[in-house]
Structure 1
Amino acid sequence: MKTEINPNETSRCEAFKWWISSTQPMVTFVRTFNVGRLRKASKRMGIKFNALLCWCICKAASTIDEFYLLPEDGKLYRYDKLAVNVIVQNKKGSISMCDIPYSDDIRTFDADYQRLTALAIEKCEILSLDGYMVIGTSALPHTELDVVVNQYSGTLNNPFAVWGRYRRSLFKTTLPISFQFHHVQMDGLQVGHFLNNLQVEINRL
């Protein structure tokens, strides 16, 4: 469910005053993650690498209150559910997007991931969920990337994670991930906690 809230009654009061009218309110953090366990878990569990990473992103975000807030059209809203947006290449050779609802259960999440991405590929449409705070993602597994910077205009305010191909060495597998967020929604402190949580969730696999 999506509910409008009074920014003055939240911890984001000052941030809302500073950044809601900013022409460039987005901030990008980049961190390189050790994804060796994620790669092994993908093979062991029979779940796509990107699906597992999307689940870990939602799991890491789910314990941070600020991820349930989002500024839109000069207002602040609170959500009670999370989802992740996935970009796929559809059957026409273009791209489509779909929202995957977050579930604590990996198998439930993966079933939704497989069903909804297949539907987006087939129908060549954008499949959106109402009432969810959506974390955007974009995976480019055929290209090694160091940093990705997305729109800074504040037109699309949802947090957004981008990654390319993981890098294998003799002892570990690493993956740089760019994470962009709206400064009204959260500060560097919360993002730092999220990135730490993400590595923890990857390691738990």
Structure 2
Amino acid sequence: MTMREIDPQTTKRAEAFALWMNAPMPMITLLKTLDVTNLAALHRRRGWKFNMLLCWCIGKAASQTEEFYLLPVGKKLMQYSRLAISIVVAAKDGGISTCDVPFSDDLQQFNRDYLHLTGQVHDTCVPHDLSEECMVIGTSALAQYELDGAVNIYAGLYNNPFLIWGKYKRRSMKAELAMSFQFHHTQLDGIPAAGFLARLQKEINQLKG
């Protein structure tokens, strides 16, 4: 099973589904500054892409949050068994495309998939879409610019959780990164969402390579 419709009444999100599925603006955005010193050091020492490392940590933290495996799609509640991270890729034709990379607990495997799939999307200018197979976590890295925060649009079509960040800032011996995290209230309440961000910081701190 990769994706199936489930009855909201059989889940912990039953009340949230009733309250928020028809709300005109059901999205919530949390802002957090992360300490990414460890990722910056791994990027320099190992040559791994900073964005890849951060995306893996996002997937790792999300995989420990049960609500991430549920997503409101249209008027239905869908359950997934797998997660993927969506990356915005600069295509060779000058445009942009999205690339969904399946999350793996194995960092080396995730890195291989990340490099292969983003390279494929860059060259073909064709998105790689896993939305029928995985609960996709959207990301957008504006790595050339320092940001204090960002709030994404809500069009009522894309209910997936979405994270945005810019360039990390040097603060003495630390590297800090401002991040926004947008999510649909049917999928998550504030406490598990904040807990996800706390787990993300923990995964960043303890990542070794």
Shift of 1:152: 2.5
Q: How far apart in 2 are the matches of 1:52 and 1:204?
A: 12
2:17 is aligned to: 16
1:98 is aligned to: 99
1:137 is aligned to: 139
Q: How far apart in 2 are the matches of 1:154 and 1:160?
A: 14
Q: Over residues 128-183 of structure 1, what are the superposed CA-to-partner deviations in whole Å (9 max), with x where a residue is unaligned?
A: 12310000000011011111111223321000000000000212110001000000
1:118 is aligned to: 119
- Equivalent residues in 2 for 1:1-205 (5 A)? 1-129=2-130, 130-205=132-207
Shift of 1:60: 0.4
Which amino acid in the other structure matches residue 198 of structure 1?
A: L
Q: Over residues 105-143 of structure 1, what are the superposed CA-to-partner deviations in whole Å (9 max), with x where a residue is unaligned?
A: 111000000000000000001111231000000001101
Contact 1:23 1:153 in 2 (8 A): no
Contact 1:24 1:152 in 2 (8 A): yes
Contact 1:90 1:121 in 2 (8 A): yes
SS of residue in 2 equivalent to 1:99:
strand
Residue segments in structure 1 that go unaligned for 5+ positions in a row:
none
Q: How far apart in 2 are the matches of 1:82 and 1:91?
A: 27
Which amino acid in the other structure matches residue 57 of structure 1?
A: I
Q: Over residues 51-71 of structure 1, what are the superposed CA-to-partner deviations in whole Å (9 max), with x where a residue is unaligned?
A: 000000000000111000000
Q: CA RMSD in A?
A: 0.8
Aligned residues: 205
Shift of 1:41: 1.2
Contact 2:74 2:157 in 1 (8 A): no
Q: TM-score, normalised by structure 2?
A: 0.96
Contact 1:71 1:184 in 2 (8 A): yes
Q: How far apart in 1 are the matches of 2:205 and 2:51?
A: 15
Q: How far apart in 2 are the matches of 1:56 and 1:109?
A: 11
Q: TM-score, normalised by structure 1?
A: 0.98
Instruction: Indicate the percent of aligned positions where both proteins have the same amino acid.
Output: 49
Q: How far apart in 2 are the matches of 1:66 and 1:154?
A: 20
Residue segments in structure 2 that go unaligned for 5+ positions in a row:
none
